[in-house]
Structure 1
Amino acid sequence: MIEVRDLRVSYGGRTAARVPELDVRAGECVAIVGESGSGKSTTLLSLLGLAEGAHVSGEVRVCGVDVLRAPERRLRELRGARVALVMQAPQAALSPTTRLGVLMRRALRLHGVDAPDRVARDAMAAVMLDPELLRRYPHEISGGQAQRFAIALAIALGAGVVLADEPTSALDVTVQAEVMGVLRRLREERDLALLLVSHDLALVSTIADRVLVMKDGEVVETGPAAEVLARPSHPYTRELLEALP
């Protein structure tokens, strides 16, 4: 579902992220971990052609689309309908003057989804949200509900790939568990390919099949999650694990 080779993202001649290889298959979760500024989010945005102002080179294929060479029209078809981006603070991306139901139905119509009202309600139920929340404005729901609404929108559009950028960092531990539980269940039920960006190794250990560790824009370690987290080979990975409470 995601194939990356020799990806390099640079701003003004300075490399912000370099990823030699990254593959994510259907039904698989791959996590990119590292401290703030390590290049995680830059890598994620480049997969959808959203790294504004950056020079991006290499090979990036998402759902078979050559992202770095496809026309903007092709990328618009890819975003949302086939690949969904779940951001760290979804409420900031939601119009404060528009009800959630209007936002979701508008997105569904733009992508040609039939029966948007029914699809919207089914998607809300799938992420364990009361469909009546579609009547509310973004400021009338909690952070956890907003995060699950973003996931509901992704599955309503039928996305086969979900890119999640720190989806639980602003949530308390209980709500974190709820959101991750939703992602885990949907991955299993719908065979989603999930690329997760996080600095939380404890959270990553509960869902990821494989891990890439980034530092200063470079991948310093990669491998099966159980192996990397239990027997890290790079000093930086060991430092991240030792920093866990």
Structure 2
Amino acid sequence: MIEVRDLQVSYGERTVARVPELDVRAGECVAIVGESGSGKSTTLLSLLGLTEGARVSGSVRVCGVDVLRAPERRLRELRGARVALVMQSPQAALNPTTRLGVLMRRALRLHGVAAGERALAAVCARAAEAVMLDPAILRRYPHEISGGQAQRFAIALAIALGAQVILADEPTSALDVTVQAEVVGVLRRLREERGLALLLVSHDLALVSTIADRVLVMREGEVVEAGPAAEVLARPSHPYTRELLEALP
């Protein structure tokens, strides 16, 4: 679902992310970990052609689309409908004056889902239930839901659109431990049941250990270690990875 080779993202003379190889298959979770400023989010955004102002080189294919060479029209078809981006604070992207159900139905229409109001409402309700939300929540406004519910709503929107790949950028960092577990549980179940490919960006190695199949460790824009999650987290070979693990409370 994701195939990256020799990716390099630069602003002016400064290279902020360099990823020699990154593959994510259907039903697999790959995590990119590292401290703030290590290039994790930049790598994630480059997969959707969203690194505005940057010079990007290499090869990036997502769902068969050559992201670095595709026209904007093709990228708009890819974003949302096939690849969903779940950000750290989804509430910031939700119109506070519009009910959640209206927001979801509007997104479906913008991505070409042609159906009547009743059919769209049914799609939205099923998507909400898939992430353990009561469909009644779709009648609420963004300020009436919690952070964990907002994260699950963002995932529900991806499901409603039929996304095959979810890119999750620190999806649990602003949540308490109990809600974190709920969100991670939803992502794990969707990956297993629907075969979604999941690319997770996080600095939380404890969280990563519960869901990731493989891990890339980034520092100052470079991948310093990569491999199966169980191996990297149990027997790290790079000193920086060991430092990250030792910093866990």
- SS of alignment partner, residue 210 of structure 2: coil
- Residue by residue over 1:119-170, the C-alpha shift from the partner in whole angstroms, topping out at 9 and shown as x without a partner, is 0000001101011111111111000000000000001100000000000000
Q: Segments of 4+ in structure 1 off by > 2 A?
A: 112-115
**Matches of 2:68 and 2:120 in 1, distance apart?**
31
Structure 2 match to 1:211: 215
Q: TM-score, normalised to structure 1's length? A: 0.99
Q: Which deviations, in whole Å up to 9, do the C-alpha atoms of 1:204-245 show, x marking residues without a partner?
A: 000000000000000000000000000000000000000001
Identity %: 89
Give me the whole-angstrom Cα distance separating, in 1, the residues matched to 2:95 and 2:191: 28
Match of 2:176 among 172, 194, 214: 172
Matches within 5 A, 1:48-197: 48-113=48-113, 114=115, 115-197=119-201
Alignment partner of 1:206: what SS? helix
Which residue identity does 1:163 align to in structure 2?
L
- Once the two structures are superposed, residues 28-78 of structure 1 have per-residue CA deviations (whole angstroms, 9 ceiling, x without a partner) of 000000000000000000000011111111000000000000000000000
Q: Structure 1: state its 5+ residue gaps.
A: none
Letter in 2 for 1:76: R
After superposition, what is the alpha-carbon deviation per residue over 1:170-215, rounded to whole angstroms, capped at 9, x for unaligned? 0000000000000000000000000000000000000000000000
Q: Which amino acid aligns with 1:103?
A: L
SS at match of 1:45: helix
Structure-1 separation of matches of 2:83 and 2:110:
15
Which runs of no fewer than 5 residues in structure 2 stay unpaired?
none
Across the aligned residues of Structure 1 and Structure 2, the Cα RMSD in angstroms comes to: 0.6
Please state whether the residue corresponding to 2:48 is helix, strand or coil: coil
- Deviation track 1:9-44 (CA, whole Å, cap 9, x = no partner) reads 011120010000000000000000000000000000
Q: 1:76, 1:95 → 2: CA distance?
A: 21
CA distance in 2, matches of 1:220, 1:116: 46
Between the two proteins, the alignment pairs up a number of residues equal to 245
Report which stretch shifted further, 118-127 or 104-113.
104-113
One-letter amino acid matched to 1:35 = E
Question: What SS class does the counterpart of residue 26 from structure 2 fall into?
Answer: coil
Aligned residue in 2 for 1:41: 41
Equivalent residue number for residue 246 of structure 2: 242
Question: 1:96: how far off?
Answer: 1.0
Say which is worse superposed, 51-60 or 27-36, in terms of deviation.
51-60
| Amino acid in structure 2 at the alignment position of 1:164 | A
Question: Is 1:228 the equivalent of 2:195?
Answer: no
Greater mean deviation of Cα atoms: 226-235 or 94-103:
94-103
| Secondary structure, counterpart of 2:35 in structure 1 | coil
TM superposition shift of 1:112 = 2.2
CA distance in 2, matches of 1:214, 1:116: 41
Normalized against structure 2, the TM-score is what? 0.98
Per-residue deviation, 1:109:
1.0
